[in-house]
Amino acid sequence: MVANGIDDAEWKKINNTNPDRAIELVELFSDVVFEKAFVKVQFLEHLEPTSIKVFMFTTDKIYLIGIDSAHPEIDFRDKDVMTALATNFLEYKDKLHIYKTNKPIAENREAEIFKMLKDGCLVIDEDRFKAFANLYQASL
């Protein structure tokens, strides 16, 4: 708890004499740790069998590139399908709905990222996002 300006002896005293305050301090510390971690997150992905969405976060906007398919032979969870998509995109182009949009961040950026992670998104790197941006461009 030194991060909150509390040394070990003071922490033990608070924990023994005022457990509610100790819980508040732990929650505050956890919030600080999460916020620092989420500040570094820039790209997320949400994957379902018939839909894949990649997101890019800036300070004030969320950018989305999505690909949807109604064809049962296309399962985005299958790595072979994703490899085929990347290498033979024109073969799949007519079977997919590819779109791009953006929206302003409604709340705090880090709270938005936390909510999306709770909803099943995973952190990805910039290269993966750019690969989808390239697929979007190829679909135009």
pLDDT at 140 over 90: no
The first and second tokens of residue 23, run together, are 């819980």
User: What does the pLDDT look like over 69-78, one tens digit per residue?
Assistant: 888 778 888 8
Check the CA dihedral 9-12-16-18 and report its sign: positive
What is the residue-averaged pLDDT of the chain?
81
Tell me what pLDDT residue 27 has. Answer: 59
**Would you list the domain boundaries of the chain?**
2-38, 42-139
pLDDT at 104 over 60: yes
Tell me what pLDDT residue 52 has. Answer: 92
C-beta separation of 132 from 44 below 8 A? no
In sequence order, the β-bridge partners of residue 118 are: none
What's the rounded Cα separation, in Å, for the pair 138 and 140?
6
Amino acid at 46: H
In sequence order, the β-bridge partners of residue 100 are: 65
Check the CA dihedral 106-112-116-122 and report its sign: positive
The residue that leads in pLDDT, 88 or 109, is: 109
pLDDT at 110 over 90: no
User: What does the pLDDT look like over 40-91, one tens digit per residue?
Assistant: 889 999 999 889 999 999 989 999 999 998 887 788 888 887 787 777 777 7
Residue 5: pLDDT band with limits 50, 70, 90:
low
Tell me what pLDDT residue 100 has. Answer: 96
Tell me what pLDDT residue 8 has. Answer: 67
